[in-house]
Amino acid sequence: MQVRKRGGQEYLYEVTPYYDKEKKQIRQTVKYLGKNVDGKPVKVRETAKKPRRALGYGEFQPLLKIVEELGLKEILQDELPDRDVKTALLLAFNRVLRPVSMRNVESWYEASYLSEQSEFRDLQTTSQRLSEFLERIGESDASTGLFKGMIQRFSTGALIYDLTSLSSYSKLINMLEYGYNRDGLSTAQVNLSIVTDKDSGIPLMYDVYPGSIVDVSTLFNTVRRIKDLGIARYTMIIDRGFFSKDNLQLLFDENVVFVIPASTTLKSVKEMITSLHDDIKDPDNLRKYHDTVIFVKPVSIDVDGLVVKGYYYYDRNRENLDTNLFYKRLYNVVDELKNRHIKNPYDTERIVRSIAGKLYNYIEVQRNIDSSLTVTIKKNAVSQRINRMGRYILCYHGEMTWEECLRTYKERDQVEKRFHHLKNDLDAVPLNVRKESTMKGFLFICFLALILRMRLQKHLEETRLDKKYCVEDLILELEKIHMIKLEDGDWLLSELTKKQKDIIERMSLESCYQKTGK
DSSP calls for 142-156:
HHHHHHHHHHHHH--
Across the 518 residues of the chain, what is the mean pLDDT of every consecutive 10-residue run?
72 75 73 76 57 87 95 93 95 91 92 91 92 92 91 85 64 45 55 82 83 65 84 85 89 91 90 92 94 94 93 95 96 95 92 92 94 95 92 94 91 64 55 73 90 90 91 93 84 90 92 66
On the question of a cis peptide bond just before residue 203, with omega within 30 degrees of 0, the verdict is no
User: From the CA atom positions of the chain, what is the Rg in Å?
Assistant: 30
Q: Are 371 and 341 in contact (CB under 8 A)?
A: yes
Q: Angle between the 61-70 and 436-462 helix axes, to the nearest 10 degrees?
A: 100
Task: Determine the pLDDT at residue 188.
Answer: 62
**What are the beta bridge partners of residue 177?**
189
Phi, psi of 313 (to 5 degrees): -115, 140
Q: Are 471 and 457 in contact (CB under 8 A)?
A: yes
Pairing of strands 292-303, 286-289: antiparallel
Element (H, E) at 373: strand 373-377
In whole angstroms, give the CA distance from residue 356 to residue 359.
5
Phi, psi of 301 (to 5 degrees): -115, 135
Alpha-carbon torsion angle 144, 146, 148, 149, nearest 10: 160
Structure letter (DSSP) for residue 209? E
Alpha-carbon torsion angle 233, 237, 238, 244, nearest 10: 50
The residues, ordered by sequence, that sit 6+ positions from 499 with a Cβ below 8 Å of its Cβ are: 477
Q: Are 303 and 416 in contact (CB under 8 A)?
A: no
Long-range pairs of 323-328 with CB within 8 A, sequence gap ≥ 24: 323/386, 323/389, 323/390, 326/385, 326/386, 326/389
- CA quadruple 244, 248, 254, 256: dihedral sign: positive
In whole angstroms, give the CA distance from residue 318 to residue 315.
5
The pTM of this model reads 0.73
In whole angstroms, give the CA distance from residue 395 to residue 252.
12
Pairing of strands 235-238, 257-261: parallel
On the question of a cis peptide bond just before residue 430, with omega within 30 degrees of 0, the verdict is yes
In whole angstroms, give the CA distance from residue 405 to residue 260.
9
Pairing of strands 40-42, 51-56: unpaired
Task: Determine the pLDDT at residue 458.
Answer: 86
Q: Compute the mean pLDDT over every residue in the chain, rounded to the nearest whole number.
A: 84
Q: Are 84 and 133 in contact (CB under 8 A)?
A: yes
Q: Are 277 and 383 in contact (CB under 8 A)?
A: no
- CA quadruple 258, 248, 162, 227: dihedral sign: positive
